[in-house]
Structure 1
Amino acid sequence: MARIKANGIEIEYETAGSKSDPALLLIMGLGGQLTIWPDAFFEGLAKQGFYVIRYDNRDTGLSTDFGSWGVPNLMEAFGKLMSGRKLEAPYVLNDMAADAAGLLDALGLERAHIVGVSMGGMIAQIVAAQYPERTRSLISVMSTSGRPGLPQGKPEALAMLSAQPEGPSREQRVAHGMKVRRAIAGAGYPIPEPEVRAFVEKNVDRRWYPEGGARQYLAIMASGDRVEMLKGIKVPTLVLHGEDDPLLPVECGRDVARLVPAAKIETFPGWGHDLPGGFLPTLTDRIVGFCDGK
């Protein structure tokens, strides 16, 4: 892994494949470190002829954090949002999209396929809309337009966004992380417990930083929806969504596909809001097939 200065912050990133191949930028979701992207997926895309970049978003992992801003009161912020008052946030999703474009600049890459999951899909949508000359294609995965009135996720899954471990020990953090993974998984792709534990332990040990995720959640709330922005996207767009997504129901993905002109969409039974090993071959196949030749 390496670190580079871009858009006024330091970004931790990793690459796979040959720089002479088409670039493919992976943007992770809320509070997720670059290591949430499975190695097999990351390296598999490189083997299919792409120069793949994954990175820690600001306030996540080993990239610049905004700890001096403090931990936001999300309930208070939600109340302000509901009453139409302006939210104060250290950054918004547009800033995170500028980070992605800045990372491409710093790496000397003119254009890339932009793949984002969940909040990363929101950021990818903004990159495609505001930096079309940098975007070969947009792949919005398990994401949303943010349109008010879209179906809400299951309460038990939504509760995981703000839930905390029972205590500060490593084991309590790991147990909490495993609980989160189970809450957002789809019924069609169960993951063996030892595999979930190893995955969570790796990420807990790399960096435990939930306050960064809270500020990212505040950024989502402060950014508003992307309905009008999506209508103006002109790059080739693919929407992928699980029909068993308990966090952002499949209708959220369908809304994105309806808004983006000529967008293609594919939904998958049994897939939730995660990247399970059993689904990775399908995900890789759809992304490679869509990006080839663009």
Structure 2
Amino acid sequence: MQISANGITLEVEDHGPVSGEPLLLIMGLGMQLIAWPEGFVQQLVRAGFRVIRFDNRDMGLSQRFDHLGRPNVGMAAFQHLLHLPVQAPYTLADMANDAAGVLQALGISSAHVCGASMGGMIAQHLALDHPALVKSLTLMMTSSGARGLPQPSIKVGAAMMSKPSDPKQVDSVAAYYVKLFRLIGSPGYPTPEPQLRAQIEASIRRGGFANRGTARQLVAVGADGASRAERLGGIAVPTRVIHGEADPLVPVAHGDDLARRIRGATLDRVPGMGHDLPEPLWPRFAEGIRQVSGR
């Protein structure tokens, strides 16, 4: 369903009984709400949650911001590397305000929040800027944004900066994402290629190839910098950090750092997990969310 939140239009899906404990899922860079697998969502519903997932701005069926143009990602990366200010079309704090608007539009006064990758960064802003809305935090494969943390390998960085050979052809786009997700995915829990390709093609059919939206989101991540890290001591809700020990995009040191910065946070380091949500680990993720929620 389409709702108005923070002055824009967002696509939202609401799963489970209205009487369930609200759980807001926030997805990462360039990903749609369906990147939270349906099977995982249903596990959470069976655990007693009312699960809300939504397309971030500029992605899927939510409002696009093409009028803001395509940012120069290379220049933004260079500025970030030199610790220079990065000008972004919008900020992660704006995206956190979107998430707050989703809860408010649904009449939810507070919720447990789980964010993955960029979604985890947005979740941090949500907890800092709208503390009354957040009951607990689960931060998956994400980062504080602190300076000095290890970066992706050159190979992974180059893959993230690349694009399909023909962005107008579904086969080309699907092949690009299969290669990328193979590179950053879980070596201990590889998704079979036919299943991975089917998931990617379903995403393309649903929301297209939002290359410019992904670029704007990526620059928003770069613009956020270390200022968020310095504020994380202000998070006072129960927090669980889940991070793969084999994550090549956001190395596990980011999870270690995040757990140190948030008072009382618990850390689940997962052997063999990369930068994805492999099906064999869904029960572990769901149990971690259940535990930190106090259910």
TM-score (norm 2): 0.96
Match of 1:128 in 2: 127
- Secondary structure of 1:160's counterpart equals helix
Give the residue type in structure 2 aligned to 1:213.
T
SS at match of 2:263: coil
In structure 2, how many angstroms separate the alpha carbons of the residues matched to 1:49 and 1:144?
Answer: 28
Q: Would you say the 8 A contact 1:27–1:120 is kept in 2? A: yes
- The one-character-per-residue Cα deviations of 1:93-117 (angstroms, maximum 9, x if unpaired) are 1000000111100000000001000
**CA positional deviation for 1:55:** 0.3
CA distance in 1, matches of 2:292, 2:239: 9
Across the aligned residues of Structure 1 and Structure 2, the Cα RMSD in angstroms comes to 1.2
The CA distance in 1 between the partners of 2:148 and 2:161, in whole Å, is 21
**Contact 1:186–1:246, Cα closer than 8 Å, also in 2:** no
1:169 Cα deviation (Å)? 1.2
State the distance in 1 between where 2:160 and 2:24 align.
25
| Aligned position for 2:45 | 46
Deviation (angstroms), 1:80: 3.0
Map of 1:214-233 to 2, 5 A cutoff?
214-225=215-226, 226-233=228-235
Give the match's secondary structure for 1:161.
Answer: helix
Q: Distance in 2 between matches of 1:97 and 1:260?
A: 18
Residue of structure 2 equivalent to 1:105? 104
* Counterpart contact for 1:25–1:113, Cα < 8 Å: yes
Task: Give the distance between the partners of 1:81 and 1:45, measured in 2 at CA.
Answer: 37
1:1-294 paired onto structure 2 within 5 Å? 2-167=1-166, 168-207=168-207, 208-225=209-226, 226-293=228-295
Q: So what's the TM-score if we normalise by structure 1?
A: 0.96
For residue 285 of structure 1, report the CA deviation from its aligned partner.
1.8
- Measured in 2, the distance between the counterparts of 1:157 and 1:143 equals 16
2:191 corresponds to which letter in structure 1? Answer: I
**Deviation per CA, 1:210-264, whole angstroms, max 9, x where unpaired?**
1101100111111222122111111111100000001000000110000001111
Task: Report the AA paired with residue 67 of structure 1.
Answer: D
Listed one character per residue, the Cα deviations across residues 1-27 of structure 1 (whole Å, up to 9, x for unaligned) are x01001010010101101111100000
SS in 1 for 2:243: strand
Structure 1 residues not aligned, in runs of 5+? none
Q: How far off is 1:86 after superposition? A: 3.1
Asked whether the 8 Å contact 2:26–2:115 carries over to 1, the reply is yes
What is the rounded CA distance, in whole Å, between the counterparts of 1:36 and 1:77 in structure 2? 26
SS in 2 for 1:15: strand
Task: Report Cα offsets for 1:259-280 as digits up to 9, x if no partner.
Answer: 0011111101000000111211
4+ residue runs of structure 1 moved beyond 6 angstroms?
none
- What do the CA deviations read for 1:112-144 (whole angstroms, capped 9, x no partner)? 001000000000011111211111101110000
SS in structure 1 of the partner of residue 253 of structure 2: helix
Q: 1:25 aligns to what SS in structure 2? A: strand
Which sections of structure 2, spanning at least 5 residues, go unmatched? none
- Residue-pair matches, total: 292
CA–CA distance in 2 between the matches of 1:81 and 1:250?
Answer: 21
2:230 aligned counterpart, secondary structure = helix
Tell me the amino acid that sits aligned with residue 173 of structure 1: V
Q: Say whether the 8 Å CA contact 2:141–2:244 is kept in structure 1.
A: yes
